[in-house]
Amino acid sequence: MTFRLPRRRLLATTAATAAFPLVAIRTRPANAAEFSYKYANNSPVSHPLNIRTTEAAARVKEKTSGKVEIQVFPNNQLGSDTDMLSQLRSGALEFFTLSGLILATLVPVASINGVGFAFKDYSQVWPTMDGALGAHVRGEIAKRGLYAFGKMYDNGYRQITSSTKPIKTPDDLNGFKIRVPVAPLWTSLFKAFGASPTSINFSEVYTALQTKVVDGQENPLSLIDTAKLYEVQKFVAITNHMWDGFWFLANKRAWEAMPENLRTIVEAEFNAGAVAEREDLAKMNNTVADSLKSKGLQFVDTDAQAFRAKLKSAGFYAEWKGKFGPEAWGLLEKAVGNLS
């Protein structure tokens, strides 16, 4: 038997449905985060950066009662540095830690911390980058649709490795095929030494060294160790030619989508992570040299003043003083003394 709705009732039901249409209500699972964001970096999983940012993400989830959940993607899982910077700008990625020297492709002044032989030691680095110069750079970053947290993570002083010969003097760099990150200041620095720099993303460095596309590269000892570059290099010259750190960057639209109270928690926890990571790297640097020596890497001492004099005579400092402008350069020299 077929059931038929009486015509009068059918008309009444149809009219009611037209007046009050059914609405599909999207609901969020009870335990789901209100803000589920991605954070990516280029560092190996075992690097202090990843250890401390993973801890910070856990604290954020706890202190926001699960409202903010940040997934950590280490070791170039989401692409090369240039890929991830593009994702950050588009909003496909919400957080990213990046060297200021690579960020300089978007924010030119961000590479100022990498001026060759500018910082003598950490007693100059942190007051400068946590202080007036860092604030100036953060202001320029903000103009490009990004937000930079108040504390930088440490990447360390950079050293030069080689598979062909020890680098003892500036002349040893003449014609030397060296990998540098995709950043103008790095290229300029090594051209001033007469080297042949090739810009290669970090995700491709090991292979480039292994296949002899380049004969050497430069990175902090901690990264040489954690990325196992000692497997494809023979010598490391202790040059301390530049200090490098990571800006913790946020996509500005995604950042401002969170209420202020949540933003305060997120930045506070990742800033705390940065301070802890700095201490980790300082301790690591006290032991990593012995570790690398035990793995076969031969250490070479150098004279920093000889390298600095070469840069000055090549016009490196004068060139970058003009590029950075008087305000930024003045803040740098106020902290480290006259360079040019």
Q: For the chain, what is the mean pLDDT?
A: 91
Quote the DSSP letter at residue 24: -
Q: What is the pLDDT of residues 93-117, one digit of tens each?
A: 999 999 998 999 999 999 999 999 9
Residue 50 to residues 61, 269, 281: CA-CA distances in angstroms?
A: 17, 14, 12
Instruction: Give the relative orientation of helices 184-192 and 316-324 as an angle to the nearest 10 degrees.
Output: 160
Tell me how far apart the alpha carbons of residues 144 and 129 are, in angstroms, rounded to a whole number.
Answer: 19
Which amino acid is residue 66, in one-letter code?
A: G
Tell me how far apart the alpha carbons of residues 246 and 151 are, in angstroms, rounded to a whole number.
Answer: 9
**Residue 100 CB partners (closer than 8 Å, separation 6+):** 110, 111, 112, 113, 114, 137, 152, 244, 245, 247
Q: Which residues of 6-33 are buried (b: 16+ CB within 10 A; e: fewer)?
A: eeeeeeeeeeeeeeeeeeeeeeeeeeeb
What pLDDT is stored for residue 211 in this prediction? 97
Q: Which of 4, 78, 67 is nearest to 259 (CA)?
A: 67
What pLDDT is stored for residue 182 in this prediction? 86
pLDDT reading at 339 higher than 60? yes
Do residues 107 and 113 touch, judged by C-beta distance below 8 A? no
Which amino acid is residue 238, in one-letter code?
A: I
What pLDDT is stored for residue 16 in this prediction? 42
- End-to-end distance of the chain based on CA atoms, in angstroms? 98
Domain 35-336 has CATH 3.40.50.620: no
Q: Using DSSP bridges, classify how beta strands 35-40 and 68-73 pair: parallel, antiparallel or unpaired.
A: parallel
Tell me how far apart the alpha carbons of residues 338 and 2 are, in angstroms, rounded to a whole number.
Answer: 96
Domain boundaries, the chain: 35-336
pLDDT reading at 21 higher than 70? no
Helices (H), the chain: 7-19, 48-63, 81-90, 100-103, 122-129, 132-142, 184-192, 205-210, 221-226, 252-257, 260-294, 304-313, 316-324, 326-336
- Name the pLDDT band for 30 (thresholds 50, 70, 90): low
Residue 98 to residues 200, 217, 299, 326, 330: CA-CA distances in angstroms?
A: 15, 18, 28, 25, 24
Tell me how far apart the alpha carbons of residues 111 and 99 are, in angstroms, rounded to a whole number.
Answer: 8
Tell me how far apart the alpha carbons of residues 65 and 63 are, in angstroms, rounded to a whole number.
Answer: 5
The pTM score is 0.84
Two structure tokens written together for 175: 């014609």
Q: What is the pLDDT of residues 311-324, one digit of tens each?
A: 999 999 999 999 99
- Name the pLDDT band for 27 (thresholds 50, 70, 90): very low
Residue 82 C-alpha from the chain's centroid: 11
Two structure tokens written together for 217: 């590269």
